[in-house]
Homo-oligomer: A and B are copies of this chain.
C-alpha cells in the first residue's frame, strides 16, 4: 500500500481560533460580561425564545443581543421592538459560522457606555459549522424544536457535545410528532452527560422561566 503525506490543517486553524476565543473570554470575565452562544437549525424558534427569556430577565440584568442568523435585520428589529434591549445585526453574507474574531467585532459594535451583564449571540442557523468554532462565549446553548425530531443528537454529534444547555422548543406540538422526550434526553446525554435539558414552549411561555433562571444563575456565577 502506498503512503501519502498527511497535512493537518485543522490544528493551526482551530488552534488560532481557540487562542482568540480564550483571549476574548478572559477580557469578558474581567469586564463581568457573560456571553452566551445560541445555536440551532433554521426555524427552531430562536427569536421567540429570546424575546420570552429577555422579558423575564431585563429588570434584573442589562442585556444585549447580537443577531447573526440572516442577512436582513428582521430578527434584530423584532427583538428590539419586543424587549427594548440593545440589539445589533451581524451580517455574515452567507457565511456558515461565526468565529472568535467575528464575535469580537460584534461586541465592539455594541454601545460602549452601558456595559451589559449578558450578551446573547444568535449564531448562524446551521447545526454543523458553528459547532466547530469557539466564539469566545462562556457557554454554548442550542434550541432543538420538536418537529426536527428526537434523533438529532445522533445526527449532529459535535453540536450536542459542545452545548452546555439544550432547550427543547415547541413542546405544544409534541402530540402531533413522533417525538420521544426521554429518548431525546438520553441521546443528548450520550453526547454530553453534563448537558442541562430544558423543555419549553416559547409561544405560550411554558418552561421559559426555567431557562431564564438557568441563565440568571450563570451570569451571577460569572460575575462573582
A interface residue numbers (CB < 8 A to B): 1-14, 68, 73, 76-77, 80-81, 87-98, 101-102, 105-106, 109, 128-129, 132, 158
Contact = CB atoms under 8 A, between A and B. Distances in A.
Chain A interface secondary structure, helix, strand, loop or mixed?
mixed
Contact of A6 (B4, B14, B89, B94): B89
Given A4-B87, A87-B4, A129-B129, A9 B92 contact: yes
B5 A95 contact: no
Instruction: Report the copy number of this chain in the oligomer.
Output: 2
A10 B92 contact: yes
Contacts of A68: 9
Contacts of A102: 9, 13
Nearest to A65: B4
Nearest to A96: B129
Given A77-B1, A96-B96, A8 B91 contact: yes
A95 B7 contact: no
28 contacts: A2-B77, A2-B81, A3-B77, A4-B89, A5-B89, A5-B109, A6-B73, A6-B76, A6-B88, A6-B91, A7-B88, A7-B106, A7-B109, A8-B91, A9-B68, A9-B90, A9-B91, A9-B95, A9-B105, A10-B92, A11-B93, A12-B105, A13-B95, A14-B93, A94-B132, A94-B158, A95-B132, A129-B129
